[in-house]
Structures are given as structure tokens and as C-alpha cells.
Amino acid sequence: MQLSHIIWLFFGVLLAYNLKLYMDSKVQYDIKIDGNSISINLQGKSIGNSGLEVACKQFQDFVNVTKLEANFNLNGLTNVQTLLLTISRFKRLQELNLQIGNNPIGNSTASNLQALLIQLQNLESLSLGLDTLFTHQGRSQIIKSISEMKKIHTLQISLINTDLGGNQIDMLLPIAEMRQLKSLELILMGSNLTAPSTKSLQTLLYKLPKLEHLVLNLYGNRILVDGVDDLSAGLYHQKQVKSLELELYFNNITSNGTETLMSVTGQMTNLTKLHLGLEFNYVEEEGAKHIAKALGNLQHLNDLSINLASKNFGYLGYEAVLQAIEKLPILDSLQLIIGINKCGTRGADLLKKVLFKQNKLKTLVLDYTENYIGDAGASFIGEGLTYQKALEYLKVTLNFNSISDRGAIDVAKSIHSLKHQPKYIDLRLSQNKISDIGSKEVLRYLSNVTKAVDFLELELLGTALTNATRDDLVETYKNLKNFNFIVDTAPPSYWDEQ
């Protein structure tokens, strides 16, 4: 080989090495170590295999770890053997949250992960993210190993966008052998589940010992009415559950399916927490009335979340649900996501009355996107906020509601006047007719509360702001502590087209 070729080869290797060091330096390895607890979140950082090795070196010597949270989703990983070997050193591990989904990891790694789980016999809590990973056989082996871990009482399995159609969902059935299980979360979003698939979920819920906490996230499947019937039959055998979260968005569920589901939910009288996600189904007004009837039986609730954003929901359904919430015992947390229902000003006035009764909320999330509430409705919601005495977390979304300056200012003024200021505030007023004058006033009121909060965010996208005012506001508030301002402008013709 000629000397010149050797020199160029040397420089090529040196360049590659320095490039690697440079890329590693650009990744923020935010690892938090608190006593015997380690937390690392590198989701979507594209660190690759070499980056994973760098991360592991930073915590591999903490052999007395009892709790590990590691999120490496979406990182271009093909080999996680270093990570698995590092975790195997933690013989005292009791809590493990390991997310490695959406990486091009080979199927052979399934057996390596299975071997790791066999070693971790002190685990009491396991959260495992396997989104789109491995073959059916590999996943089945892992689930079988988990089912034989005798100390686990808290289990979460995430299989997002993993094909579980047909009888492939049967691989979850060994979980029923975990007699000590108290908490189960199955995240099966977009997993090709149909009505026949829910037979396995029914069997699992029937065979499981009595749970206290249950989460079933079936977002974006096609279980239809028959699937809801099977799911409800399974829930019938878990009526003692205290915390229930059902995420059933985009499943073509009708009012009949809602009736079956809520007839069982209404019998779960020990519930203190209910999160019900039925967004973009065919619930309709009759289905909403069944939800309202079930809520009337749940007199121990302190945490309620209802997502019924759907164009076929209607005002009467909205009214039934809101009246039921008003009659509940005093809640600690309320999330009400009822977008695109055209509840209008009357609906906002009804919400004000609910907030007058439910006035000791610590968490309040309201999403009234595209409900045509106008300025009067915004003022009603603002007035409802002023009744709150204990808020710690507040998020209000009023996008696409034909709100102009008066309504926007009333909401901001109400937040400003809260006697007990929340630590977290998120206000979204995008796609409304808020002008330069209104935007300045909204910001004036909200900027005055930033000293009392940990974080405040204001979103004003697609409003009637001019470029000059936008630039002025951004410059004025860019250095304000604990404040995030999201803004753009719309062309002058925008509002003429509305």
C-alpha cells in the first residue's frame, strides 16, 4: 500500500472517531440518580448502539439500584445487549420501567430479554415497552416468563402498533396465572384488534384475581359493539376495581355498545378514579345518557376524566353528562374533553354551574375545541374558574370558538384573579378572532401571575395578530421566567374567509 493511501486511511479513521465523539457530545444524557433510583429518558434521540453504550457506562456501577426507569424508544437501536447486561447487574431491583420499542432490534434479542427477566426475581413492579418488536413467538416467550415472576404485583405491557389480530392476543393469557397481581395496564393501541380478539380480554379479566387498578388502552382498533360486549362481560368479574381507565377512541362503538359498557361500569361502586375515553365513536345522545346514569351510581369518585369529542354527541348528551357531574361528591380532579359538540353558550353556562359546585378541584382540564361558545361562553367559563379554591394544575383549551377580545380577556382576567394560583397553567386560545389589543391585554393579565406559578403556557396560533404586534409581544415577554408563549400570525384575508 502506498504511503499516501496509509496517511489518508489514518486521517479517515481519525475523522470518524472525532465525528463519533462530536455526535456523542450532542446527545444530552440526562440521567437522574437519587439514592437507589435511576431515571433516564432518551426517547427519540437517535443515539444508536454506540450512544446506548455511552449511556450505560454512566450508571452501570450503581449495583444497589432498586428502581430503574429507562426509556430508549425510537433510537435506531439494533443491539441492546449492553443495556440488558447492565440491568442484570442490579440484583436488588424491585421496580423496572424499560421502554425499548420502535427500534430495529433483531428477533434474537427476545430470548436475551427473557433471560434477563428470569434473573430479576425480586421485581415487584414491571413496565415493559415492546412496541412493534419481535415475532409473535418471541413476544409469547417474554410474556410467559413474566407470568412466572411471583413477586410482581404491578404490571404494564405496551404493544403499540403490534399486530395482535386473530388469536395472537392469546399470548397475553398467561398473565392470568399471576395470582398476586393488583395492578394491570395493557397498552394495545393500533394493534389490529377486532371483536373476536376481545374474547381473550374477557377470558383474562375473568381468570385474573381481583385487581385494584386496571388500564385498558385499545385506541385505534375495531372492536365494534360485539367487542364492547365481551369487554363488558370481563369487567363484570372485576367490579371491585377502584381505579379504571378505558381508552376506546376510534373503535366504531355505538350508543348500544356504550349502554352495555356503562351498565357494568355503573355497578363498579368502589371506583374512586374513572377515566373514560370514547372520542370519535358513535356514542350519540342516548349513549351519553347511559354514561350520565352510570355516574350517578359512583358516589366514591374523586378523579374523573371523560373524553367524548364527537360530532354526533349533541347538546342533550352533553347536558346529561354535565348534570351528572354536578351531582357527584366533591372531586379532586376533573378532565372534561368535549370538543366539536356544538354545545354553544348554553353549554358553557352549564359548565359554570358545575364548577360552582365542584369548587375544590386540584386538577382541572377543559377542552372545548370547536364548540361555538363565543365571547359570552368564554366569559361563563372564566367565571366558573373563579369559583375554584384549591387548583394546582389548570389547562383550558378554547380553540376554534369564535372568541374575540372580550371573551379572551375575561378568561385571562379570571385566571389572574384566582385566590389560589395553580402551579401549572396552560391556556390555548388559537384560531379565534383575537386582535392586537386583546392579545396585549391577555398577556398583561397572565404575565402578572408568573411569579406565583412554576410554569405558564399561552398559545395564540391563527389569531388576528399583526406581525408588528407579534414581534413586539415576543420581544417583551421572551425573558419572562416560567413563561412559554406560542404565537404566529394569519394573513389579512383569513378572517374574510371565515
Encode pLDDT of 47-79 as tens digits: 999 999 999 999 999 999 999 999 999 999 999
Q: So what's the pLDDT on residue 310?
A: 81
Whether residue 139 contacts residue 171, with contact meaning beta carbons closer than 8 Å, is answered with yes
Examine residue 373 and state whether it is found in any structural domain, yes or no: yes
What's the gap between Cα 332 and its chain centre?
19
- φ and ψ at 157, to 5 degrees? -120, 125
pLDDT at 398: 98
For the stretch 114-133, pLDDT in tens is 999 999 999 999 999 999 99
Q: In whole angstroms, give the CA distance from residue 149 to residue 175.
A: 10
CATH code of residue 436: 3.80.10.10
Residue 301 domain-assigned (yes or no): no
Q: How far is CA 383 from the centre of its chain?
A: 28
233 lies in a domain?
no
Give the residue-averaged pLDDT of 418-433: 96
What is the model's pLDDT at position 96? 98
Q: How many CB atoms lie within 10 A of CB 299?
A: 11
Q: Residue 23: what pLDDT?
A: 42
pLDDT above 70 covers a percentage of the chain that reads 92
- Residue 18's pLDDT band, with cuts at 50, 70 and 90, is very low
For range 460-472, the mean pLDDT: 93
**Amino acid, single-letter form, for residue 62:** F
Confidence of residue 7 (pLDDT cuts 50, 70, 90): low
Q: How far apart are CA 305 and CA 284, in angstroms?
A: 18
pLDDT digits (tens, 9 = 90+) for 332-362: 999 999 988 888 999 999 999 999 999 999 9
Distance separating alpha carbons of residues 325 and 288, to the nearest angstrom? 12
Residue 252 belongs to some domain of the structure: no
Beta strands in 44-92 (DSSP E): 67-71
**Does any domain span residue 206?**
no
Over residues 273-290, the pLDDT tens digits come to: 999 999 999 999 999 999
CA distance 300 to 265: 13
Q: Are 79 and 53 in contact (CB under 8 A)?
A: no
Tell whether the model's pLDDT for residue 293 goes beyond 80.
yes
pLDDT of residue 8: 55
User: Binning pLDDT at 50, 70 and 90, where does residue 496 land?
Assistant: very low
Query: pLDDT digit string (tens) for 358-388?
Result: 999 999 999 999 999 999 999 999 999 999 9
Q: Is residue 19 over pLDDT 90?
A: no
What value does the mean pLDDT take over residues 295-302? 98
Residue 81, H or E segment: helix 81-88
In this predicted structure, what is the pLDDT of residue 489? 63
Q: Where does the pLDDT of residue 256 fall: very low under 50, low under 70, confident under 90, or very high at 90 and above? A: very high
Residue 375, domain extent? 342-497
Identify residue 165 by its one-letter amino acid code: G
Residue 124 lies in a domain: no
Q: What's the CA gap between 483 and 443, in Å, rounded?
A: 11
pLDDT of residue 240: 97
Residue with cell string 362503538:
253
Question: Is residue 86 included in any domain, yes or no?
Answer: no
Q: In this structure, are residues 276 and 307 in contact, taking their beta carbons and an 8 Å threshold?
A: yes
pLDDT band at 5 (very low <50, low <70, confident <90, very high): low
Number of domains composing the chain: 1
Question: Does the residue 188 lie in any domain?
Answer: no
